[in-house]
Amino acid sequence: MAPAKFLVTLLVLLLTGRVVNGQPRTFWWPEQQTAEHYITCRLPQGRAESVLAQSVAGLAARAVNEGRYNRMIWVECNRPVYDEWLKNTRRTQEIRPAGYKDVWQLVALLKKKGIIKGYVLYSQKNESLNPATVHAGILDAVLIEESLRSGADGMGLQMLYDARNESQQACWQKTNEKLNHRLILAMKPQLAFNRDLAIAHRAMVYYGVDSVYREILSRAEPLTPVVGWNAGPESSHVAPPSEYALFNTASDYCFNLTFLSAGAREARLDRVKRVDPRKIDFAQPGSYHAFMMSDGDNMQWTMDAFFSKEYYRSPAYGRVPVNWTTCSANISQMSPATWNEIVRQQKEGTTLVEFSGGYQYPDCFAKEYPDRWEKLRQFARQTGVHMNHLGISVLNLMMLHDVSSEEALQVYKIYAEEIKGLTGIVVLQYNPYHAGHGAIYWVKDRDGVEIPVVTPHYSLWGKIAGEGFGRPDQIAARINDAAKNEDTLGGTIVHAWSRYAKDGAGNIVDANDGDRAAVRGVAAVEWCMDRLAPSVHVVSLEEVLWRIRMKHDPDATRKIIDNL
């Protein structure tokens, strides 16, 4: 390549965000091209029509990728915040509306264009939607539930496959050689969501954790995302993908991901607000404590209820400096519009944290491979590229087992060596989150700089008895007790779903999940803050980490801060 042409290409890549620190930005999700226009599918009536609409959107998206069509499909979904993602994506991708159609009008249009070749038949009475979705991706077909069959036949659509009596296991045996092994969907057969993504990228769809599922995982390329949420206890279905060097996304209720990810590789992504350590008064006495919200790996929550008044749009957020775990590396690839809104609404003096590059257990990662540690290094390195691009300097890891084990210590070492510019790492154990009880481990990055790996002291988590667990008043009492005799530096992990209320005497009590008058999220942290002693300062997670570093090695920390 001629020097002038190379420089122009590099400049374009830098301006579009595809190069980070001289390296191409890693894109581990299936790439979706953008289109000139989009058609809005009017709100489908019932689950069968919703599934049909998803399949239409998926086939249109694939046709766009293959240069056979220039229109994406947006499916209305009765979720107000998704209207924001549509508006923001339209603006940034310069994709123009091309009218509204109902789902059957879209079927007729795409059939005429040669994009829809026929249909795959399934039944809502069994698991056949998952096999049908797989066959639809292979056959360029829409998904027709048997109750809609007469409508499809009346349009002259040909049935290309009858999946009504096919098991998921049989489907895998028939189709695995024809599938894209860079994406897996773990979806309940009763759910319509994400069928567009599966069809657009010819992915396997499966629900259940058995020997066939493990075979599916083993065929996937390492570092592949598993979309959805599988069956059974959480750790039992998160661990198997981890062992095959894959990661989960908690995304079974996400909507319109093909549309929202269109053009994401070239999208301009905003950088987080960082706490400037040069402005921290390290000489000020007192105890310093940070509260970090759990469940940031949950993409469907991040794209929806996260933006409610209980959480990120709480009127108390900011005054209450909550720190947020996020799925930044993944959501910036699948919905740049959502990520940029997270950054836009971030309050000063708070920290956005990357949750592990995706939900996986690093102490189990790639255990099925002989080169497990090298695969973890690769995943850590790719996660680091995204963190650097987004300006994130704090990483959250979730261990399945003991946070102090030899395997865990090896994990910390790898992440510190592979991610540039870390302020620190926060480590949780799957059960309990605060198993480390405030323990700090020190690992060195590639430049020999010591990085703190900290564990939370407490879990603000209702309805669980045990050391370190508690309601807002109980956690405040523990923090105050610890700060009585010495200045402390610590943190509390906040269970995002726990609800609390006040009884007739004003005492805080656990509330039922159905009690919508109860509080959770930011308000729960505020109730805890209100009960802290004056000597306890609630600050950002970054500030606590910098104070830990300053206490551990003042000379080295001052040198780093002076060179920022």
Summarize the confidence of residues 253-263 as an average pLDDT: 97
Mean pLDDT in residue range 483-490: 96
Q: Reply yes or no on whether the pLDDT at 23 is more than 50.
A: no
Check residue 2 and give its pLDDT: 40
**Tokens for 119?**
């249909």
Cα–Cα distances (Å) from 52 to 38, 40, 75, 307, in that order, read 18, 14, 11, 29
Asked if 497 and 433 touch (Cβ cutoff 8 Å), the reply is no
Q: Which residues pair with 469 in a beta bridge?
A: 459
Q: What is the mean pLDDT of residues 349-360?
A: 98
Q: 25 pLDDT band (50/70/90 cuts)?
A: low
- Check residue 58 and give its pLDDT: 98
Give me 445's structure tokens: 């990055």
Write out pLDDT tens, residues 167-213: 999 999 999 999 999 999 999 999 999 999 999 999 999 999 999 99
Report whether pLDDT(352) > 90.
yes
Range 249-263 burial, b when 16+ CB lie within 10 A, else e: bbbbbbbbbbbbbbb
DSSP letter for each residue of 212-281:
HHHHHHHHSPTT-EEEE--SSSHHHHHHHHHHTT-EE---TT---HHHHTBTGGG---PPPP---GGG--
User: What would the pLDDT profile of 76-132 be if each residue is shown by its tens digit?
Assistant: 999 999 999 999 999 999 999 999 999 999 999 999 999 999 999 999 999 999 999
What is d(CA 413, CA 400) in angstroms, rounded to the nearest whole number? Answer: 17
Element (H, E) at 12: helix 3-16
Alpha carbons 192 and 122: distance in angstroms, whole number: 13
pLDDT at site 8: 39
pLDDT digits (tens, 9 = 90+) for 356-406: 999 999 999 999 999 999 999 999 999 999 999 999 999 999 999 999 999
pLDDT band, residue 1 (cuts 50/70/90): very low
Mean pLDDT of 267-279: 97
**CA-CA distance, 128 to 109, in Å (whole number)?**
27
pLDDT (0 to 100) of residue 516: 76
pLDDT at 6: 38
Helices within 322-405 (DSSP H only): 328-334, 336-345, 372-390
Whether residue 158 is predicted with pLDDT greater than 50 in this model: the reply is yes
Which pLDDT belongs to residue 550?
98
Measured distance CA(42)–CA(39) in Å, rounded: 9
Q: Considering the entire predicted model, what is its pTM? A: 0.95
**Residue 237: predicted pLDDT:** 98
pLDDT digits (tens, 9 = 90+) for 216-241: 999 999 999 999 999 999 999 999 99
Q: What is the mean pLDDT of residues 410-420?
A: 98
Position 22 pLDDT exceeds 60: no
Decide: 362 and 356 in contact? Cβ < 8 Å: yes
